[in-house]
Structures are given as structure tokens and as C-alpha cells.
A and B are shown apart, each in its own frame.
Chain A
Amino acid sequence: MAGTFGSINATASALRYHQAVMEVASGNIANVSTDGYARRRVVGQAVGAPAQPAMWSRFDGHGDGVRVGSVDRLVDPLLDSRARREHGTQSFLDTRAAALARVESSLGEPAGEGVSSALAGVRRAWQDLANNPDSAATRAQVVATSRTLVDAVAGQRRNIEAEEGDQRASLLADVGETNTLAHDLAAANEAITAARLAGNDTSSLLDARDQMALRLAELTGGTAVENGQGGLDVTVGGVALVTGGKAGTLAVSSGINPDGTSDGQPLALAVTPPGGTATAVSGLRGEVGGSVDLLGTTLPGLRAGLQAVAQQVADSVNAAHQAGFDQAGAAGQPFFAVDPSDPNGPLVLLVTDPASVAASAIGGGPNRDGSNGTAIAAALAGPTSGYQQFVTGLGNDVASVRRLAATQQNLTDQVDGAREQLSGVNIDEEMVTMMQSQRAYEAAARVMTTLDSVLDTLINRTGLVR
């Protein structure tokens, strides 16, 4: 049986409990727009008989009040891990799409502003030379338009190289951020373990932990697993980056100098697990994976494609030019060279003297034949279509990666939506909870008043005779 003040205690527990509920509700409302905040819910527990009665003991109590069983953080670890995966893929695709779109818009095609217009200019100049092979002006025009073509090709290469430089810089920044985050996550893991041992509320630490793990996934596509002590262990490329309270490091092992320039070696990354040795990793996702893919495959591929076009131009023009004869009747020299290491290359103009332009197909002395000009103009048809293929190929790649990114965005949004459905704060809901608790608090206060008056009757009125 309950004691005299048993009911007062039960009522007091109600007041305490509902205060806690309102406190948590107000915390939820306060964080309605906080990034990474998962709503909390107070789980009440009726205080009553012990769950496991002791042998031979009797418990006849009931209605002993309520207490805060736990404050639940409404999250689903499965959804969290899906979100990390989708975000990793998303940022991988976004990084690639953005870089390729930049390169593509710098081409100035198909509006005919870039290399294709320069090629057309060269073909026109050769045709005009065929019409007027004895004119110094048309000869000079051939040299001038060829120089424009060389500059246009060099401009394209510079654009690709600039993008490579930007990607190297951003890769270094991402690697730095990854290491800082890994370090912070390890510290959070440790704090969580300590807080749990001390019995403190770990919700805010867990929010921070999940945020960091998500960002790590966005950076590297790394996967995270709960380690049984409240912390998250992160694996990047199959190698442990964070284990409990200890963090390893991600580093660029070759390919990039610390100042962001290329060291000429193939790009390679390595993860050093806590207390372990550096292990090469590949196939990363996220922003780092995107940059590695761009630097390792896509951008060098584009550079090679452009160089192939330059080679095609040089080969076609040289073959035709060497079959002709210049103003003095001497055999034509090579017109272009391809030099990938030339800062103004890869296409290099070799003939700069208008008199050396081999317009004539007839040797043996000076003449006014211009048919070799026609032949060279015709020979440029191959490189022109080669360049068109290069542009279309890039356009296809950009369109494809953009489509992939858009599709992935749907998936990412869906997972984010599912998380938000579970963890997001709804103000109406919190208001209802608050009202409910307010009323319950009021009712408990009324119970207290009633008890008071009951006791008053018993203590002050009992035994009094009027």
C-alpha cells in the first residue's frame, strides 16, 4: 500500500515528467531548421511493480507515477547509411558534370567560334591561294590563318590544362578537409563513449557525428559502420580511416606536388589507417573520387583527343604540302609539327615565310599554278571531321554525366526525404505534444490541490467537534 504521501510523489513525478516533455518539445521547435538535427522524443515509463519480483516479496503498489524512460533520437541507421552512399555518388557525379561543362563551354562549339572556325579559315585561305597563287597577300593569309589555328588549338589545350590545375587544387583541399573531418569524427567518437559511460545525453554528439560521417561520404564516398560504442568507424576505399577514437590520414601519394602542380606521375591516393602503414586506395567516390577520375582519365583523354586532332591536321597538311612546290619552285617543307611539350602547342607552325608556302603542284621553277592549294584545302576535310567527332564525343560525355547526375539527384532527394520524414521536426506535432503536456501538467497540479485538501481535511478537521 502506498504511504500517506505516495500520491503526492506520483503527482510530483507527473509534473517533472511533463516538464521534461515540454522541454524536449521546445528543444525540437528551437531546432526546426537546424541542419543535421534529429528530433527527440521523450519516452515515458509508468512507475509500478518491479519487472522481476524478488522471491517471496509482495508488491501491492500501483499508480506510482511516471518517469522519463529515455529520450529517443528518431533516426534509422539504415537510412543514414543509404544517405551517405547516395550523397557520395551524387557529389562524384556533380564534380564531374561541373568540370566537363566548364571545358565544354570553353570550346565555343557548335557555334563555330573555336577551332572549327579557325580550320574553316585555313581552308578558305588555301582555296584563295589556289585562285591567286602569285599574290603575296594570299600567301601571307595562309600563314596568318594557320597561326590562328595553332593559337585556337593551344587555347583549347590551355582550357583543359586550367581545368586540370583547378581539379588538382580542389583535390588537395578536399584531402585536407577529409583529414580534418576524420580527426574531428574520432574526437566525437571518443566523446560519445565517455558521455555514455557517464550516463549523459549523447544526442547532440550523435547529430554532429552523423553530420561529419555524411560529409566524409560526400568527400570520399567512404562507408561508416557503428562500432558498438556509439561511434562511427569510417572506411575509405576499403582501408580504415577512422577507428573509434583514432583517425588515420588520406594523402595524395603521387601525381600532385604540394603546391598544386603536376609532378608528371600518375595520380595515386593512399590511406594510412590509425597505427598502420599507408595503403594505396582507388575507386573512391565523392568529390575526391570525381577529381581523381577527371585528373586520371577524363581530362588527359580530352587532351589526347585534341592532340590527335592536331596530329591529323599536321599529317594531312604536311603530306599535301610536301607534294607541292613553293614560290621558287623548290619542294614544299613540312608545314606543321606536333609537340606536346611546347607551351604554345601541341600544334606548331613551321612555315612562317609566305614565299615558302607550296601552292604549286608543278616543280622545276617559279610558276603560277595553285592546284596544290586546292589539294591542301581538300586534305583538311579529314581533320575537320575529326575535330567534329571530338566535340560531339565531349558533348555526349557531358550530356551523359549530366543525365546521370540528374537521375542520381532524384534518388538522393528521395533518401533525404525519407530521412527528413523520420527525423525532421514538425511544428504542429510539437505544439500538440506541448499542449498535451501543458494540460497534463495542469491536471497534475489539480491532483496536488485535491490531495492537499484531502490531507487538510484529515489533519485539520478530523476530531474537531464544533
Chain B
Amino acid sequence: MPINRVTQSMLTDRSLTRLQGSLSRLADIQEHLSTGRVLNRASDNPGDAATAMRLRASLGEQQQYARNAEDGQGWLASLDSTLGSANDMVRRARELGQQAVNGAMSQQSRDALAAEVDQLRSALVANANTTYVGRPVFGGTTAGSAAFTESAGVVTFTGDTNPVNRSVADGVVVDVSVAGPTAYGADGDNVFDHLAALSTALRSGDTTGVQTGVTALTSDSDRLVVARAEVGARTNRVDLAVTRAGDLETSLTNALAEIENADLPKTMVDLKMQEVAYQASLAATARVLQPSLVDFLR
């Protein structure tokens, strides 16, 4: 549309509008700089805002997965060392039995062996009741404080065999517990019974009984090794999950920064350019508003 007339207030209005426009662009860039973000409200870019919110939610999830996995690592580490020392004790008891079978031995020596076996047995009971943050690690989800209870010389499993699950990644759940019977044998046929039987056989000089006890302890030891291997495998999974969650967290943080954060060098250049533009429009306004024919008519 051709402009036929230009009036004084058109000049002032337009100059003001343009100054305002320039100033508001300057304010936008300043907001980006001072907040460090280009996405300050959903309407700045609804699509990116949706992505940013989703990314932030996933970020929170990954952080939680890492926390869960780290908690699982604690459980598994405590299981691993407990099973390790349990196996050492069982192996030692087996050696003692072997000694009694192999050499001609006085009853006194056998009694001494029996005493050591008894010691090992009570240490093993304590070992089987190892706790992690106040929970018996072999007790499943039991509300009680012990996985195994001894009464009248008989040790029975008082925990439950429910899994203790940790979500370590999206849809990945790892049981970080080992049920007591899996590691120590079923009630009535557990390692504690075998140790008690071995001790009794040693005291009574029952060589066949000692032989049976040694055999039983061999399979007990095997069971403990298998349980420990299983714990090792799960530890690997959980360790992997921790690493993966960390990696995902980094990449999600990057993606979020990509969307939300202001590109500093670019913003600085934009700011400088907008400053120049603003100064130019100020200068232009100052020039355009002054002269009129009045200045030249004398």
C-alpha cells in the first residue's frame, strides 16, 4: 500500500513501535542469558516443552533405577561375603571330618575335633543370620530379625522365600536375596543338622557316621558355591544396570540441555547484534523526530 502522506505522529508512533520491538527482542535474549534457558514456558515451544518434560521424567526414573541398583549391590555384596565365609567354615568342618576318618586317632583328639565342629556350627548359624540394614539377608521378606532360629539343638528356617526385588531398569527386576534353604539346605536336612551329626559321630567314634557327615558336607559346600555363583551373576546384572543408568542419565541430561539450554556463544552474538540494532533505531529516532519545515523557514 503506497504511503501518500506521512504525519508527525506516524513518525513518532512507528519509531516507538520499532523501539519497543527492538527492546522486547533485547529483553528476550537477556532472559535467555540470565536464565541460561531458551525454554522458559511451555508456549515458547510447545513441542520442545513436551519433550523436555518427558526427558526430565525419564531422567528421574534413571536416577531412581541407579539408586535401586546401588541398594541391590549392597545386598548382593553382603550375600557374597557371607556365602564365602560360610563355605570356608563348611570346608573346614569337612577337613576335620576327613582327618578323623583318615588317621588313627584317640577319642580325646576326636573330642577336640568335635568341639571345633560345634564352634563352626554356631558361627555358621550366626553367619546365616547376617543382616543388611537391619534385615536378615537370607530371610526373604520376613518381618522377624532372624532367618534361622535354633531351638533345642535344631536350627529351622524362620524366614520366607519371597523374593526381594529391585527394579534396576525399565522392566528389569532383579531378586537381590537368596532364600535360606537354597544356601543352607532344607529344614531337617540342612548344613546345621549335618554339622551336629558330624560332631555326634566324632564324639561317639562312629567312623561310618563321620564318613556320612563328610559326604553330606561336600554337597553342602557345593550348594553354597552354586548359591554364590548365582549371587555373582546377579551382581553382574546389577552392576551393568548401574552403569547403564549412569550412561542413560548422561545422555538424557545432554538431550535436555540441547532442548532447554541457551547456546551461550550464539546468545552472546545475538545480544550484541540486538544491542547494535537498538542503538541504531535510537539514533534513527533521534534524527527523524527533530527536523520539520519550521527549522528551515525564517
Contacts and interface: CB of A to CB of B under 8 A. Distances in A.
Interface of A: 32-33, 101, 104-105, 107, 109-112, 116, 120, 123-124, 127-128, 130-132, 134, 360, 362, 365-369, 371, 374, 377, 384-385, 388-389, 391-392, 394-399, 402, 413-414, 416-418, 420-422, 424-429, 431-432, 435
B81 interface: no
User: Which of B6, B10, B46, B56 neighbours the largest number of chain A CB atoms within 10 Å of its CB?
Assistant: B46
User: Which of B42, B56, B260 neighbours the largest number of chain A CB atoms within 10 Å of its CB?
Assistant: B42
A421 B7 contact: yes
B68 interface: yes
B57 A104 contact: no
Nearest to A424: B7
Given A127-B68, A431-B293, A431-B294, A116 B56 contact: yes
Contact of A426 (B5, B12, B60, B67): B5
User: 8 closest pairs, A vs B, by CB?
Assistant: A395-B42, A424-B7, A398-B43, A366-B143, A395-B46, A369-B141, A399-B43, A428-B293
Interface in B16-47: 17, 37, 39-47
A388 B48 CA distance: 12
Contacts of B39: 110
Interface of B: 1, 3-10, 12-13, 17, 37, 39-47, 49-50, 52-54, 56-57, 60-61, 64, 67-68, 71, 133-135, 141-143, 160, 162, 164-167, 173, 260, 292-294, 297
Given A131-B68, A131-B71, A120 B57 contact: yes
B135 A368 contact: yes
A360 B263 CA distance: 47
A323 to B, nearest CB: 16
17 contacts: A32-B7, A104-B42, A111-B37, A130-B68, A132-B71, A368-B164, A369-B141, A371-B165, A388-B50, A392-B53, A398-B42, A414-B1, A417-B10, A420-B9, A420-B10, A421-B7, A425-B8
B9 A32 contact: yes
A101 B57 contact: no
A426 B117 CA distance: 115
B43 to A, nearest CB: 4
Contacts, number: 163
A427 B290 CA distance: 12
B3 A421 contact: yes
Nearest to A366: B143
B223 to A, nearest CB: 25
Contacts of B40: 111
A159 to B, nearest CB: 14
Contacts of B13: 416, 420
B191 to A, nearest CB: 25
A127 B41 contact: no
B137 to A, nearest CB: 11
Contacts of B134: 134
A463 B29 CA distance: 93
Given A110-B52, A368-B164, A391-B42, 20 more contacts: A110-B41, A110-B49, A112-B56, A123-B60, A124-B60, A127-B67, A127-B167, A130-B165, A131-B67, A131-B71, A134-B135, A367-B142, A388-B54, A394-B42, A395-B41, A395-B42, A395-B49, A413-B17, A414-B1, A432-B293
B143 A367 contact: yes
A374 B167 contact: yes
Contacts of B52: 110
B43 A128 contact: no
A130 B64 CA distance: 11
B53 A391 contact: yes
Contacts of A371: 165
Contacts of B6: 421, 426
A105 B35 CA distance: 14
A396 B143 contact: no
Nearest to A414: B1
A164 B293 CA distance: 53
A397 B9 CA distance: 35
A425 B11 CA distance: 11
A399 B46 contact: yes
Given A398-B42, A425-B7, A427-B292, A134 B53 contact: no
B221 to A, nearest CB: 29
Contacts of B4: 421
A374 B165 contact: yes
Contacts of A104: 41-43
Contacts of A432: 293
Nearest to B75: A131
Contacts of B166: 130-131
A378 to B, nearest CB: 8
Contacts of A422: 5
Contacts of B49: 109-110, 391-392, 395
Contacts of A398: 41-43
A388 B57 contact: yes
A136 to B, nearest CB: 12
A32 B160 CA distance: 93
Given A367-B162, A369-B141, A425-B8, A402 B43 contact: yes
A33 B8 contact: yes
Nearest to A393: B46
Given A109-B42, A110-B42, A123-B64, A388 B9 contact: no
A107 B42 contact: yes
Nearest to A126: B64
B98 to A, nearest CB: 40
Nearest to B52: A110
Contacts of A109: 41-42, 49, 53
A421 B42 contact: no
A463 to B, nearest CB: 48
Contacts of A131: 67-68, 71, 166
A32 B297 contact: no
Contact of A392 (B37, B42, B164): B42
Nearest to B47: A392
Nearest to A423: B7
